Amino acid sequence: MSIPSTSVDVPVRVRELARGAALTPVWLNGIGGLTFRTDDGRYIKWGPLDDEANMRDEAERMRWARTWISVPPVVDLRLAKEALRHRVG
């Protein structure tokens, strides 16, 4: 886990969710997941499809962590349709 270089490839879905805001990569985890900070104060997390580490569970962990430490609030959780289709069908 580390702070990625500014030359990291930004996934298309992250650019869509940023809605034109400038993006700064702030975290890269061991399975290729990325966290970006937007210039309008949001954080966008993205990760590859993985059965053990998924965004729904991560959102729950972040909501729980807010009880104990300062973390950005979970404002929205959007899962790629392809990922949902893969998991359901």
Sequential pLDDT tens for the chain (89 residues): 567 766 788 998 899 889 999 999 998 888 888 889 999 988 888 887 777 767 788 888 888 998 999 888 887 776 655 444 434 33
Beta-sheet pairing, 23-28 with 43-46:
unpaired
- Yes or no: say if 45 and 33 are a contact pair by the CB < 8 Å rule: yes
Write down the pLDDT at residue 6: 62
Helix (H, G, I), strand (E, B) or coil at 25: strand
Write down the pLDDT at residue 79: 60
